[in-house]
């Protein structure tokens, strides 16, 4: 076989996807698998967004779109940033892509040189370090501890920044911990970032609408205007409108960076489908009821799962303040033997034993850079969550 690129040697597909693949295989064998592995809303896309896509296709919006987004979606995104985030952007400060994930890739590819470092707080969304490595950069980790509610402390951020730092990536509400960032937290992080003027700042706010606290979500670019010319604010329709499969993300930031991202995008995928962009316009401009319905549902399910997990003696679990994950600490299981006789040396072992023995798919904390934990998505039905927790309880009870 001809060789594959050297860069692939150190990069694998995210473990979230690996667990889902294994879960699917077990399901295909006839097992009753409950998958809490993927970060995917279990709601339907709003009907008005689907109608808009249908209408766009029938109206002939089936040709190549502009690289950086249709005028209608850019306008809707600008209105959204102004309305929800207190951020005013011009058209050349906005880019639309095939999901926030592609925009992350574009931004890093447009800026990372060999030797560039990217500061990533742990635990993290696995795509951050994987993408940095794919592009020849070096991830540098800043730990967020359970004892601090998984919030990033300014000292930990400061300690991770070096003269080679090209980016700092912030993600609130956080995947996988659900930690949020208050305005005061952002102000203290901004004070550190102000001392490092050569560093780009990526604010991944894809879960911005899933904030369960009384204080609304705050964007760093609005809290710290002095940093605005270095901040890329990244979000999309995947989580807010249950539109993961439509592949629409968008970002607002300085025109020069947006232009660089657009050059990458023009060479990789061109613009996102105009049909799905029309759906995103309808979602952003239309009735927002579904957003609060989903938020309330995830909050209720979080409570249901937290109560069930906290009743299991081997586990402890912080209460997430946003997103749709819980991140229980499984250190009480490490070193023990599963009911099926597997040694549980790591959280990978716990996740695999739980899947193979009880058919509950989760993702080990190792995939997010902080062990020993599991990530469970609460974007599943109440029945599935209750059943999964009951199986987890039986599993823990049977560990020796």
CB of 107 to ligand PMP, least distance (A): 12
CB of 264 to ligand PMP, least distance (A): 15
The answer to whether residue 99 forms part of the interface with ligand PMP (CB under 6 A) is yes
CB of 311 to ligand PMP, least distance (A): 28
| Residue choice 203, 206, 232, 388 for contact with ligand PMP (CB under 6 A) | 206
Contact 379, 297 (CB under 8 A): no
> 231-236 and 200-204 as β-strands: parallel, antiparallel, unpaired?
parallel
- Binding pattern to ligand PMP, positions 267-286, x when CB under 6 A? --------------------
| Residue choice 165, 177, 209, 244 for contact with ligand PMP (CB under 6 A) | 244
The answer to whether residue 100 forms part of the interface with ligand PMP (CB under 6 A) is yes
By beta carbon distance, the residue nearest ligand PMP is 99
The dihedral through the CA atoms of 131, 35, 97, 240 has a sign that is: negative
Element (H, E) at 24: helix 15-28
Distances (CA, A) of 245 to 40, 44, 53, 177, 261: 9, 11, 13, 23, 22
User: 3-state DSSP: the chain helix, strand, coil percent, rounded to 5?
Assistant: 45, 15, 40
Of 281 and 312, which CB lies nearer to ligand PMP in the complex structure? 281
Residue span binding ligand PMP (CB under 6 A) among the ranges 56-64, 96-104, 212-220, 367-375: 96-104
Q: How many residues touch ligand PMP (CB under 6 A)? A: 13
The answer to whether residue 369 forms part of the interface with ligand PMP (CB under 6 A) is no
The answer to whether residue 178 forms part of the interface with ligand PMP (CB under 6 A) is no
Peptide bond into 273 cis (omega under 30): no
In the chain the beta strands, taken as DSSP E runs, fall at 34-35, 94-97, 117-122, 138-143, 165-171, 200-204, 231-236, 249-252, 325-326, 336-337, 343-344, 360-361, 363-364, 374-377
The answer to whether residue 123 forms part of the interface with ligand PMP (CB under 6 A) is no
Element (H, E) at 384: helix 382-397
Contact 154, 178 (CB under 8 A): no
CB of 125 to ligand PMP, least distance (A): 4
| Residue choice 36, 39, 84, 153 for contact with ligand PMP (CB under 6 A) | 39
- Binding pattern to ligand PMP, positions 245-264, x when CB under 6 A? ----x---------------
The answer to whether residue 167 forms part of the interface with ligand PMP (CB under 6 A) is no
Q: What value, to the nearest 5°, has the Cα angle with vertex 378 and ends 99 and 252?
A: 25
CB of 104 to ligand PMP, least distance (A): 7
Contacts of 381 (CB under 8 A, 6+ apart): 42
CB of 211 to ligand PMP, least distance (A): 14
Tokens of 189: 């992080």
- Return the residue matching tokens 């469970």: 376
The answer to whether residue 101 forms part of the interface with ligand PMP (CB under 6 A) is yes
List residues binding ligand PMP (CB under 6 A).
39, 99-101, 125, 171, 175, 204, 206, 236, 238, 244, 249
């Amino acid at each position: 076989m001809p060789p594959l690129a050297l860069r692939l040697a150190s990069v694998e597909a995210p473990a979230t996807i690996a667990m889902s693949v294994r879960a699917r295989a077990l399901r295909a064998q006839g097992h009753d698998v409950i998958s809490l592995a993927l970060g995917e809303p279990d709601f339907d896309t709003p009907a008005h967004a689907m109608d808009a896509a249908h209408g766009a296709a029938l109206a002939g919006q089936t040709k190549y779109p502009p690289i950086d987004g249709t005028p209608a979606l850019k306008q809707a995104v600008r209105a959204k940033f102004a309305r929800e985030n207190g951020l005013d952007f011009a058209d050349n400060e906005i880019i639309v892509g095939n999901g926030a994930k592609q925009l992350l890739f574009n931004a890093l590819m447009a800026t990372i040189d060999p030797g560039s470092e990217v500061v990533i707080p742990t635990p993290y969304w696995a795509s951050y370090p994987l993408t940095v490595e794919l592009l020849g950069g070096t991830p540098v980790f800043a730990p967020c501890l359970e004892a601090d509610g998984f919030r990033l402390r300014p000292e930990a951020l400061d300690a991770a920044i070096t003269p080679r730092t090209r980016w700092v990536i912030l993600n609130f509400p956080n995947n996988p911990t659900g930690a949020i960032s208050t305005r005061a937290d952002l102000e203290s992080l901004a004070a550190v970032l102000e001392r490092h003027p050569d560093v780009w700042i990526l604010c991944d706010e894809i879960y911005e609408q899933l904030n369960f606290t009384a204080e609304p979500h705050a964007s760093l670019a609005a809290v710290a205007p002095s940093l605005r010319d270095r901040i890329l604010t990244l979000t999309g329709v995947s989580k807010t409108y249950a539109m993961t499969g439509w592949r629409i993300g968008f970002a607002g930031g300085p025109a020069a960076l947006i232009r660089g991202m657009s050059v990458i995008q023009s060479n990789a995928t061109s613009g996102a489908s105009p049909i799905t962009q029309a759906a995103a316009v309808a979602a952003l401009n239309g009735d927002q009821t579904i957003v609060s319905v989903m938020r309330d549902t995830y909050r209720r399910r979080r409570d249901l799962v937290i109560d069930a997990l906290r009743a299991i003696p081997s586990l402890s679990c912080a209460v997430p303040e946003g997103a749709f994950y819980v991140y229980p600490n499984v250190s009480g299981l490490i070193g023990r033997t599963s009911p099926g006789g597997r040694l549980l040396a790591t959280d990978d072992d716990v996740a695999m034993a739980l899947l193979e023995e009880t058919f509950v798919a989760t993702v080990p904390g190792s995939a997010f850079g902080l062990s020993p934990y599991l990530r469970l998505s609460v974007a599943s039905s109440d029945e599935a969550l209750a059943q999964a927790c009951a199986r987890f309880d039986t599993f823990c009870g049977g560990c020796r």
